[in-house]
Chains A and B, each alone.
Chain A
Amino acid sequence: MTRYLSGLCVAGLGLCGGGWLVVAAVAFRGESGGRAGRVNVLTGAALVAVCCLSLVCWSCAWRRRLRADGVLADRFPLVSRREARRSRRARGRDERRTARLAERSARGARRAARRAARLTAGGALGEAGAASVLGEGVALGVAAGGDEQYATAEPALAVPAPAAAPVVAGDEGKPGELATELISEIRSMLEPLLAATGGQPMTLPPPAAPLPRRSPFASDLRPRPRLTAAELAAPRVRPAPGPSPRPTPRSIPRLAPGFGPADTTAGTWTGASTDEEDAWW
């Protein structure tokens, strides 16, 4: 807004200055002389013209800006009043028609719901009646009122069931027969498998022994040689401490009796358990 106001003020001031120059040249003709009067008149006229143009331009720019900001209304509305009135009437007519249709469909839906409730309250639904009201897939799963197994004091409830589901209870056969038939079919399918396995139950291989881990308790898991009672009773002699001339090679411990040398199968462990082994573990 500042720029428009500045332009308008300066244009107005220039207009006043140009007018003053013209008036002064005319009013003080005798005093200002020939050349000065001509310069003043010409300058004043040009100033007035330029300032008038500037004034118009700044006012137009400000109006356009105000219109863009929504402060001023559009000068020429896009739709004439008559057309606006006509479209308003048409819109009202459409709204009334839509409301009437919605009311009619709601009335129909209420009537259908009332009829369905009356049918439900009237007694058990027959298959045909259920199919007509609730649909085919629903009617297949409905037990007839005459069935002993499903007959109750209350009216039968409609249970939704898929159309392809086998009917266990129905008028066609007894449920026991169908179950027996199913079991025999399953047996006939499983018979080749039983014959292939020789009638033996499948056994799973024993789980692999876990690998020993280095821990404070790992030496407890290490297999020990089976010592005799005399060896156990005899005190264990440790070698005298001192620098050994030749380092003793470290032996690799055995993990399990099954993986030991051939003579361990006799029940005795021939490999000597040394301190180095304990240290290794």
Chain B
Amino acid sequence: MVVSRVGLAGLVAVFAAGVWLVAAPFAVGYQVAGAGWTGATKTDVITGGLLAVAAFAGLFGVTAGRVGELYADARPAASLAATADRENSGS
């Protein structure tokens, strides 16, 4: 459980790093507003964008996987409960 949470925190950190990389040239000021993008700006924005999108997709995938596991765990219990109900109503 703790391990999964640490992994999830890593994903969030990757997403934050991507967002930071996209915003860094303008926030730090090595990209002048109105001028053409330098090579460093292009590298940071492209890399940051990719990382942010990937991290978002990863977070979505992790959440979807967790929900799917919960559903899979609940299905046998639900079928057992339905069987018990059927037996009770039959007898």
Residues on A lying within 8 angstroms of B by beta carbon are 1-7, 9-11, 13-14, 17-18, 20-21, 24, 28, 31-33, 35-37, 39-40, 43, 46-47, 50-51, 53-55, 57-58, 60-61, 64
A residues near B58, Cβ cutoff 8 Å = 6-7, 9-11
Question: A115 to nearest B CB, angstroms?
Answer: 54
B residues near A3, Cβ cutoff 8 Å = 4, 61-66, 69
How many A-B residue contacts, CB cutoff 8 Å?
A: 141
A residues near B38, Cβ cutoff 8 Å = 31-33, 36
Residues on B lying within 8 angstroms of A by beta carbon are 3-4, 6-11, 13-14, 17-18, 20-21, 24-25, 28-30, 38-41, 43-44, 47, 50-51, 54-55, 57-66, 68-69
The residue that A36 contacts in the complex, of B44, B57, B59, with Cβ under 8 A, is B44
A residues near B17, Cβ cutoff 8 Å = 14, 17-18, 43, 46-47, 50
Taken together as a complex, chains A and B put the C-alpha atoms of A54 and B17 apart, in Å, by: 14
Q: Which 8 A-B pairs have the closest CB atoms?
A: A54-B10, A6-B61, A3-B65, A10-B58, A2-B65, A32-B40, A36-B40, A57-B7
The residue that B6 contacts in the complex, of A9, A36, A54, with Cβ under 8 A, is A54
Query: Which secondary structure dominates where chain A touches chain B?
Result: helix
Query: Are the C-beta atoms of A11 and B10 separated by less than 8 Å?
Result: yes
Query: Are the C-beta atoms of A6 and B62 separated by less than 8 Å?
Result: yes
A residues near B63, Cβ cutoff 8 Å = 3
Taken together as a complex, chains A and B put the C-alpha atoms of A60 and B58 apart, in Å, by: 17
Query: Are the C-beta atoms of B43 and A54 separated by less than 8 Å?
Result: no
Which of B10, B28, B60 is the most central at the interface, judged by chain A CB atoms within 10 Å of its CB? Answer: B10
Question: B75 to nearest A CB, angstroms?
Answer: 16
Taken together as a complex, chains A and B put the C-alpha atoms of A160 and B51 apart, in Å, by: 94
Query: Are the C-beta atoms of A51 and B14 separated by less than 8 Å?
Result: yes
Question: A124 to nearest B CB, angstroms?
Answer: 58
* Chain B residue nearest to A37 in the complex (CB): B40
B residues near A18, Cβ cutoff 8 Å = 17
Query: Are the C-beta atoms of B14 and A10 separated by less than 8 Å?
Result: yes
